[in-house]
Structure formats: structure tokens, C-alpha cells
């Protein structure tokens, strides 16, 4: 992480952008700033934030959001407000988001359900096969275990 990214605004910008990129209905592009602002304001019954304010947060041009605004944003995306403040909460949330994204694939979901009840030894053998397949396909991103 660069020095700019480790500042409060940088971390919030990175995490907010990640939420926009990750959490949206299947089969469509990410939410737009106006969509999110409207949904938050409609839920609150008052003007909480604007689409411009969201853009400023995402780009790091605004670095001083109030807790209530971050809470409204967190509620919209279905995450804890601690996601913006605490590294451990962000890590746990990101792991859950990765799992949810993987499970949105029907084949992966069926494989996971089919694996239920298998012995630990068999599950380790299947994991080794999956890691070999990832290597063969040149997939270098770490899996859920960090390998």
C-alpha cells in the first residue's frame, strides 16, 4: 500500500471502491453513485449524502466522512460500519464477499454442497487437485487459504 493509501481517506476510498466493485445484483454492472445516494437518502427519508459526495469519498478527495454517513453507506452494502475503521473487520468482510462471489457460480455451489460429509482426508485431496488445476490454468491469485 502506498503512503497515500494508508491515510484515513485512502483506506476509506479503497474500501468503498471495493464495495462498489463487489456488491451489486448478479448480471448487471456495479451501482452508480447516484443510485446509491438515492437509495440511502430514500431509506433515511432525508438527504444524507449526494452522488458527488460519494464520488469524493471514492476518489479520496473527501477524507472526513461522519460516522453516520459511513453507517448509511455500510447499511446499503450490507456490511458493518467497522469495515471502514478496522482492518480485521475489513479482512473478514472481504473474505465473506469473496466466498459469496464464488458461491454465486452454480457449479461451485454444487461442488461445495457435494463435498459436505466427505472426510477431511478426501477434502484435502480435492483441495490439492484444485490447486493443481489452478497452477495448470495459470491462476496466480491466492485462494481462500492464502496459497
Can you give the pLDDT of all 147 residues of the chain as single tens digits? 344 444 556 999 999 999 999 998 878 899 999 999 999 999 999 999 999 999 999 999 998 899 999 999 999 999 999 999 999 999 999 999 989 888 888 899 999 999 999 999 999 999 999 999 999 999 976 555 444
Domain edges within the chain: 4-86, 106-136
User: Which cell goes with 55?
Assistant: 464520488
pLDDT for residue 103: 86
Q: Phi/psi at 86 (nearest 5 deg)?
A: -115, 130
Class of domain 4-86: mainly alpha
- Distances, alpha carbon 126 to alpha carbons 49, 121, 140, in Å: 48, 9, 18
pLDDT for residue 27: 83
pLDDT for residue 1: 37
Q: Phi/psi at 112 (nearest 5 deg)?
A: -65, -45
Q: Is the dihedral of CA 119, 123, 128, 130 positive or negative?
A: positive
Amino acid at each position: 500500500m502506498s503512503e497515500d493509501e494508508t491515510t484515513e481517506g485512502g483506506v476509506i476510498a479503497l474500501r468503498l471502491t471495493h464495495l462498489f466493485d463487489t456488491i451489486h445484483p448478479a448480471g448487471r454492472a456495479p451501482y452508480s453513485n447516484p443510485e446509491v445516494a438515492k437509495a440511502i437518502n430514500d431509506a433515511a427519508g432525508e438527504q444524507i449524502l449526494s452522488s458527488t459526495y460519494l464520488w469524493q469519498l471514492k476518489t479520496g478527495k473527501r477524507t472526513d466522512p461522519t460516522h453516520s454517513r459511513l453507517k448509511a453507506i455500510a447499511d446499503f452494502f450490507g456490511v458493518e460500519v467497522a469495515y471502514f475503521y478496522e482492518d480485521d473487520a475489513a479482512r473478514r468482510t472481504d473474505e465473506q464477499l469473496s466466498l459469496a462471489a464464488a458461491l454465486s457460480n452454480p457449479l461451485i455451489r454444487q461442488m461445495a454442497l457435494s463435498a459436505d460429509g466427505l472426510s477431511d482426508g478426501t477434502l484435502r485431496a480435492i483441495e490439492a487437485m484444485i490447486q493443481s488445476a489452478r497452477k495448470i490454468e495459470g491462476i496466480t491469485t491466492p485462494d481462500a487459504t492464502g496459497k
